[in-house]
Amino acid sequence: MFFKVQIPLIITFIVGAALVIAMFVPHFPFYEANENFSIYFDLIAVFAFILGGGNLLKIHGDRIWRKGRDWKYSIVTVVGFLAMLIVGTLKIGGPPGFTGDVSASDSWFGFMYYSMFVPLQSTMFSLLAFFVASASYRAFRAKTKEATMLLVAAFIILIGRTPLGHYVTGWLPPQLQFLHIPNLSNWILSVPSMAGQRAIMIGIALGIISTSLKLILGIERSYLGGESK
Amino acid sequence: MAHTFELWIGALLTLMIFSFLYKDNPFYKFAEHLFVGVSAAYWMVIGIWSTLMPNLVGRIAPNALQGVINMPEDAQPQYHFIVPAIFGLLMLTRLVERISWLSRWAMAFVIGFAAGTNFTRYLQSDFVGQIYNSMLPLVVVSSGHVAIGATFSAIVLIVGVISALIYFFFSKEHTGAFGATSRLGIWFLMVAFGAAFGYTVMARISLLTGRMQYLGEWLATIF
Amino acid sequence: MPPCREDSDSHASLARFSVPFSAILFLKFARLIRFIPALAVTLGLVIACSFPCVCPAAEPAATPDEAHPVVVPMPAAAPTEIRAADTPDDNGESITVSWVLSADDVPATGTVTGYAIMRCATPDGAYEQVSTAPAQAQEYLDTSVDQGVQYYYKVGAMCGDLVSLSAVVGPVAARQQWLDTRVINLLVIALILIGAIMWYVFQAGKGKKLFIRRIAGIEAVDEAVGRATEMGKPILFIPGIQDMDNVQTVAGLTILASVGKLAAQYETKLDVPVSRSLVMSTARETLKQAYLSVGRPDLYSDDMAYYVTDEQFGYVAAVDGIMVREKPATCFYMGAFFAESLILAETGNSVGAIQIAGTAMPTQLPFFVAACDYTLIGEELFAASAYLSKDAKMIGSLKGQDVGKGIAMFFILLGSIVATVASVSGNSSAAAFSDWLSNLFRLNF
Amino acid sequence: MADDRPDKEQSSRPRKGVIDVLKAIDRRIIFLLITLGVVLPLIFHLVFSVRTSPIVQAIFDKMESLPPGSKVLVSFDYAPSTVPENQPMAEAICRHALAKDFKVYMMAVWATGPPQVDALVTNVIERDFPGKVYGKDWINLGYKAGNQGLINAILLDLKGMYTTDVHGDPIDGFEMMRDVQNLADMSLIVCIGSGFPGVREWVQFAGDPGRIPVAGGVTAVEAPLLYPYYPRQLLGLMGGLQGAAEYESALVLKYPQYKEHAEQAVRLMGPQTVAHLVIIAFVIIGNIAYFGERSRQKRAKKA
């Protein structure tokens, strides 16, 4: 138990507390800890990529081996993964010289990046244009007072964020300019919406501060599997 | 030639993903599985070349990497980087069932790092910073007169922040005046959500425009 | 910039003194002696930059050495009252050198084109030029020092190649400080928050019952798991797409533990695709323990939580595929989300799943609110993770968070009222109080 | 927040009226109309004029106020997926900076950033500023892992993290890097971002602690979230395509010589406007359907 629970808790405490203290104490060892821990974390994150790759091969390899559901598509995943990995890690097909930038656009790796990764990523992302439309069709209905607030705010901003807003209410006399839709939408963003955002931010900050504190002090330890509370 | 080839692959994959909007189909499945494999490898390769090599191997043993990456000629080994290397290797024990518990030590470092950095970051910019930003005069005077519009905005802002904060109170029943204020708070939250949603639509349409232009470019090479 | 800058090259440049540095100067002075000198410096910078240099005709020196500008007697008066001190509140990486302007440093004439900062390890060794500061500057932050090493400084008023040097000042060494006095306010606030949270954690730990209001999203968890059981369909749980370095992911996994226990009790299939391998590791540990704690370790398998890809949209593509193929009855989205939130929630909606979301990503809340049945808004995510854990200490901390909100509300109201009184009445003591109050919450003053 | 979830209702009666048709619109019809709303204006080159709002003008004015030779750091923190929104911002800022003879330092906290820099080099530097010299007028520092940790680190020591530029050449070999130690040497930081880490992290880890002016250009999703930082912590903000179009308008107004290449975002506002119209129409239809349904239910109750 000591090695499985106590040591991790001690490590978390030391690292977390040192980083909090470093905010107030620009002195050895806290300052140095603050500087180095970020880099340490990034390095551990790279090991996590490797762990992820290992798991990906394990999962899809298993599926192919057992001829599980959609196993033929798993071959696509594995082939894509290995091809990209080998070309990139060994810098096959450029960049010129081993020291060059791995993602140089004229290398093989660059080619795979631009011909597959980029279009797939952008297209997946662009599906949002459709989903945002279908979601607004369903959600923006004046069903309750709350839903009406949501609807009205969204509607004004929708119009106000395009040149459309200028055409719709551009004719208003100067004393009613505050009702001009671009002005109104800016007002909504910078006053009531900002008020809501601020309250959310303050609340979140407190939630995070409290959770961080519980983690540092070992009160919250579900990440260890929640043993010995 | 390479560019046309690239454009063709890209355009076909684009159409495969879009086909999902109609319904799930083998083309989408193909694109999806390819994307998973390619992207996992992409992040691994980038991690290796932009971080692992220069910042770990290069720092512990700069001479070992001559000809592999460019290191400053006078680079000295920094042995304290063995610490993250050990943690990283402990992380990999996950792949071996019997000793996988060792990865908890590395996880403990990650959690400690998360807690420490998040604590200070949110305390500073999101808690203290937002309180500071909210302390503004409720009555705005400009050139000797009360500016009605600005005053109204200032009051709405403060009422909004306070009432929405009341909504987040967990340890008090939301009834009576407290409950009414908290309901007002929800309205402000709803306005914030509606505004953000409305604002976002633009971003999403832009993305689609980008894709359509890309397909247009591809079609132009055919006709 | 004055045209005669070209000859005062060496490795220093006036460009260092553009906005950020003047901003630093400004803030430093504001703290030390309040506004006036800093305003003068900033103003001086602007003026100095807009006037060409007019040197009194002086003998051009023999080839000036970069490191040792030739010193010709009396082209311009030397700066006086040189001071050099360790920069306060830092980690020992700089020394602050300050001086009183040369008598000839008048913006209208442009006689003095700048100041040369000279440094040496011994009082009468060969001084090396560290850098230059523009005319009208009264302070220089020397960041090229080694910690703990003693230095001596001279400051020279420059007029073209001609430099008239001040007296020597020193020795001075850069040292690390044990407290950054600029963030004392933050320290106090942090201690109050820590105190409040720990107090209630302690109280709860002693067995004191604390009231927590009902949160719709939390109450729906049980029902949602039950629905999946009835329909004989799986539950999909997404703990966000961020790594373990995000506290929201940790909160999401704590909720996963509770959902896991319910799923084990009801014998319902649970599917947890994740986009980070560290999250996968943790999710497995969490689930294993959850299944064990309700006495169903036989139902647990490592395949429940599996890694997909680190790439955001690759992950979404895969999860969308899982949704349309497995048709889960219930979807949980608990953790940190980005743009994928709406893709997931709309696809989940199209397969008719009941959806419960919780995130502290303000950008994504609108989409979850619009497309999901229940949404835990911001802080409610953390509240839910504490509440569902059924751990008294965790619940106690929620009350501590409420104290934080109370503090925020109190000071926002007080600050605004005092600022209102100050601006309407024009009363100077009200204004001073208002400034003091808002400075309590000011960052990096 | 279950209240704003109006679908999944049971429709109680069999007879099909207009309202039932409206209620049961297949989402694929919405998808089709959105596609047309984007494609048709693209084909027919529909362009609307754009006016600059104060929050964007603030960035433009700040850039105008800096003297030539000022150091401006531009961070490319986005991926190809948000190029339509982010790239015009990055290009407008860099075009403006180079036109004003600033030294431009480009870097990325996102691994996907450097290829966007390459695109910018082709579109802006090679096209409009062929005379600018790499390493003297502009430099590409490339990407480093570390998210906010990287920002934190370069605030204290930029050269410690960036020992080489993106091509792997030693950093001290470049003229414009000689007098740069850390972020405090920058006159302005402009982050063009689309998520985490992004503008918020630049404010939190560079702007606030280092007292360096930070301006941002973000996707429209991020923008409402950043308003609370404006104007005290964040100098100005370009939000989404509209923000980019506004900056371009301001730029072209002052420097008409760049009109030909500098109006990408302005041109893309056409499909934007039409697609918005489609969505607005659907929101109205949705509400008509809802109210029609409700009044019918009320009548049914009375009867």
Instruction: State whether residue D191 is helix, strand or coil.
Output: strand
Mean pLDDT of C290-315: 93
pLDDT digits (tens, 9 = 90+) for D140-172: 998 887 777 788 778 877 877 788 888 878 888
Query: What residues pair up with D143 in beta bridges, in sequence order?
Result: D108
D24 compared with D177, residue with greater pLDDT: D177
CA atoms within 13 A on the CB side of A181: 20
Residue C29: which pLDDT band, with cuts at 50, 70 and 90?
very low
* CA A107 – CA A88 distance, rounded (Å): 9
Q: Is the pLDDT of residue C69 over 60?
A: no
Q: Residue B131 corresponds to which tokens in the numbers above?
A: 């309180």
Kind of pairing between the strands at C95-100 and C139-142 = antiparallel
DSSP C203-266: HHHTT--------HHHHHHHHHHHHHHHHT--EEEE--SS-TTSHHHHHHHHHHHHHHHHHHHH
A95 upstream amide cis, omega within 30 of 0: yes
Interfacial D residues in 204-263 facing A (CB < 8 Å): 220, 224-225, 227-228, 240, 242
Closest residue in A to C341 (Cα–Cα): A128
pTM confidence score: 0.82
Kind of pairing between the strands at C330-334 and C235-238 = parallel
Residues in chain B: 223
Q: Is the pLDDT of residue D232 over 80?
A: no
Q: Is the pLDDT of residue A73 over 90?
A: yes
Closest residue in C to D203 (Cα–Cα): C443
pLDDT digits (tens, 9 = 90+) for C223-273: 999 999 999 999 999 999 999 889 999 999 999 999 999 999 999 999 999
- Test the C interface: residue of D28, D187, D279 with most C CBs within 10 Å: D187
Q: Residue D249 corresponds to which tokens in the numbers above?
A: 């308008």
Interfacial A residues in 124-163 facing B (CB < 8 Å): 124-133, 136, 140, 145-147, 149-158, 161-162
pLDDT along chain B (223 residues), means of 10: 88 96 95 96 90 86 77 78 92 87 91 92 89 88 80 94 95 90 95 91 84 92 87
Residue C313: which pLDDT band, with cuts at 50, 70 and 90?
very high
**Mean pLDDT of the residues in chain C:** 82
Interfacial A residues in 36-75 facing C (CB < 8 Å): 41, 45, 48-49, 51-52, 55-56, 59
Where exactly are the structural domains of chain D?
54-268
Burial label for B175, CB within 10 Å (0-12, 13-18, 19+), is: exposed
Smallest Cβ–Cβ distance between B21 and the set D31, D203, D228 belongs to: D31
| C78 phi-psi bin (left φ>0, alpha ψ -120 to 50, beta other) | beta
DSSP state of A98: T
For residue D73, the one-letter residue type is L
Kind of pairing between the strands at C354-359 and C235-238 = unpaired
Q: What is the distance in angstroms between the Cα of A41 and the nearest Cα belonging to chain B?
A: 7
Interfacial A residues in 83-102 facing D (CB < 8 Å): 99-101
Residue C60: which pLDDT band, with cuts at 50, 70 and 90?
very low
Protein fold of D54-268: Rossmann fold (3.40.50)
The verdict on C401 touching B (C-beta cutoff 8 Å) is: yes
